[in-house]
Amino acid sequence: MSHQPGRHFLQIPGPTNVPLPILAATAKPTIDHRSVEFGRLGREVLAGIKTIFKTTNPVLIYAASGTGGWEAALVNTLRPGDRVLMYETGQFASLWARMATKLSLKPEFIRGDWRSGVDAAAIEAHLAEDRAHTLKAVCIVHNETATGTLSDVKAVRAALDRTGHPALLMVDTISSLGSTDYRHDEWGVDVTVGGSQKGLMLPPGLAFNAVSDKALAAAREATLPRAYWDWEDMLAANRTGYFPTTPATNLLYGLKVAIDTLHAEGLDAVFARHARAAEATRRAVRHWGFETQCANEAQASPMVTAVRMPDGHSADAFRAAVLERFNMALGGGLGPLADRVFRIGHIGDFNDLTIAGALAGVEMGFKLFGIPYRAGGAAVAQAVLSGEPPAFREAAE
């Protein structure tokens, strides 16, 4: 079918739906990035983005994907051969570790099971053994979209503090920033990496580094090669609202509106909306008789739920059928989870009806395409989304 009427349900965990006001902002005529007008825009977004990271320190903005943000974090703070402690929560933690190796760093990768978040106790044990303090950074992914797990950043910070280890703490918030509580300063993070295309509700194309004073001090001693990613050049230009290279002007227009939009709803309300959608989705999945890839309810992501398909059924074939029949895109499994899970994104610009519709579409897909399930999961989700009392929800399940 060449045309599918109605709205497209983009229920992947990113890129996410771009609200019309943000989309309209990105369509404004491009201006001279050396003009007085641009300087005002630059100062506004550089100040505004700090409120989303919850920091008073600088946040650097690059025209890049989140992967560029990873690289900027590493090359600005480390030296060739430095040992870096990383934890395998899933696909994106693995890719960050692979990048570290390519950059001539020596990642020490604590193996995980792709069903759990970061084990802070395991990190603490590794740090305690490193009495010579040869580990120079601890790098974790806050929200692992491949598996639907959320890690406890505060617990990792506490592990560093208890051992008295001076390693930098770096956190990937590419899929959590603007969607769940995150506090760069309060949690003692040294470099936070962000991206535009998830909770910030922008198109892909911006990467962020929020940096602590300790990270800035490390940058003065770092010797990994850097040019485009150099914090020093960026910070010098940013002081007056400008950038050392041509910025993504139209995305910065959109970023201003995105920041205003998040504050208009209220960050706490945004986080509660994501948590409610996640609970509704997980309850539906359990009612259907499926498992989530995240095995620990306490570590379940507010942004994405990865659903394990029954044996003998292809997650990718199911996703393709749902897209063709219902015009709904679901996320696929990544790495070793390919064709074994599908992922339901509940992140960015959505409301309760969006989630109710998406889960109804998944359930209709099960019925039409012969996937064994227990009917009624969408109704269970509606009980959560409509705020019905817990006792009613339990009875519905």
> Binding site for substrate: what residues are annotated?
343
Distance CA 322, CA 334 (A): 19
CA gap 263, 332 in Å, rounded: 32
What does residue 168 show for φ and ψ, rounded to 5 degrees? -70, 145
In whole angstroms, give the CA distance from residue 280 to residue 261.
24
Do residues 377 and 288 make contact, with C-beta atoms less than 8 angstroms apart?
yes
Q: Tokens for 381?
A: 């989700």
Q: Which ranges in the chain belong to alpha helices (H)?
A: 20-26, 36-53, 66-75, 91-102, 120-129, 153-163, 213-221, 231-238, 249-265, 267-288, 315-326, 352-368, 377-385, 390-396
Place of tokens 């709205």: 7
φ/ψ (deg, to 5) at 343: -120, 130
DSSP, res 105:
-
Residues annotated in the binding site, as ranges? 343
